[in-house]
Amino acid sequence: MRILIADDESMSRRLLQKTLERAGYDVVAVENGRQAADLLCKMDGPRLALLDWVMPELDGLGVCRKVRKNKERSYVYMVLLTSKEAKEDVVEGLESGADDYLTKPFDPEELKARLRTGLRILNLEDRLVEAREEMRFQATHDGLTSLWNRGMIMELITPELARSHRERTSTAILLCDLDHFKKINDTYGHLAGDDVLRETAKRLLSSVRSYDFVGRYGGEEFLVILNNCNPSYGFARAEELRRAISQRPVQTSSGPVSITLSLGLLLSHEWGRQPVEELLREADAALYAAKAAGRNCVRIAHPGGAHQDQSLPAGVPVRQNP
């Protein structure tokens, strides 16, 4: 664990540094409060600090106040070192944001014990942050496939459509459905069905760019959003996704299972400012057309109502992206 020592007095600094290095700390030592505050406010700065109360440029109290104002970085546990022992001094020190204080000259065992308390607090904070991140992940991702869940992918579409409209480009909405999934479940069992869903998610993710979105929309339905997408890329990517799913069987706990995917594709620039629900309804209609056309194919939603098979229409008025 890295620890910062701030003390303008060289003997005290040396004593602290050696004592803490012997206790296994990685020590960063500075001579004034300004340097201490700068380091502690960095996102990757030390999270444990021993600060002398009286220092040039910025005293220990000033460092504590500055660090506590910075809400973005993770918690920093700060111990004030002081020869001030009056009750009002201690209160002032703790009110400035210090977690603890230690009277100089320090006893090495007491110093280490107090820092162990700090480590326990930081460890607890780490566990809380981890739990919060885990909950955030669970709230936004599908438990089986780890893709975005339906709620999150719906939240992601709206700003993306607004951006592509503003920048006069296009967003591709791809509604995808595994063919005959019920039959897979009935034939191979639900565990094999889960294997198929997980592998489908993996193949979809590996077939799009890092900044595209892939979500699980329903049981065996997936929603893919291709951002900043020109039509030719949209068509090619839809076909690529279809091929990625059908090209080889999925290895499941019940043996290899061949699967195919039907896709409904919609390019937002053709639809003006339609609500998301309307666009999804149209993509769903194109998906239905792909199913009706024999499955394992892509159909495109056009404002006229006809659902074409995929072919690049000429003269599409959008910016062409690389």
Partner 1 sequence: MKDPQKDSPRVTFDLGELMARVENDRELLRDLLMISKEELPKHLQALREAVMSGDGSNVASVAHTFKGMLANLSANHAAEVAAQLERMGRNRQNSGFEEVLVTLERDVLTLLRELNACMAGVSS
Q: Name which of 29 and 267 has its Cβ closer to partner 1.
A: 29
Least Cβ distance, residue 146 to partner 1 (angstroms): 50
What's the burial of 283, exposed, middle or buried (CB within 10 Å: 0-12/13-18/19+)? buried
Q: Name which of 98 and 267 has its Cβ closer to partner 1.
A: 98
Q: Name which of 20 and 157 has its Cβ closer to partner 1.
A: 20
Q: Where are the beta strands (DSSP E) in 198-249?
A: 213-216, 221-226
Least Cβ distance, residue 60 to partner 1 (angstroms): 13
Q: Name which of 19 and 146 has its Cβ closer to partner 1.
A: 19
Q: Which residues bind partner 1 (CB under 8 A)?
A: 8-12, 14-15, 18-19, 22, 54, 83, 104-108
216 CB-near residues (< 8 Å, 6+ apart): 142, 144, 145, 147, 148, 149, 150, 197, 201, 222, 223
227 CB-near residues (< 8 Å, 6+ apart): 160, 163, 164, 171, 209, 211, 212, 213
Helix axes 190-206, 181-188, angle to 10 degrees: 140
Least Cβ distance, residue 116 to partner 1 (angstroms): 16
Check if 220 is active-site: yes
Least Cβ distance, residue 20 to partner 1 (angstroms): 11
φ, ψ dihedrals at 103, nearest 5° = -85, 135
Least Cβ distance, residue 17 to partner 1 (angstroms): 9
Q: Name which of 16 and 196 has its Cβ closer to partner 1.
A: 16
Q: Tell me how many degrees the CA angle 135-76-137 measures, rounded to the nearest 5.
A: 10
Measure the CA–CA gap between 273 and 266, rounded to whole angstroms.
Answer: 13
* Whether residue 105 has a cis bond before it, omega within 30° of 0: yes
Q: Which of 220, 240, 270, 277 is catalytic?
A: 220
The set of catalytic residues is 220
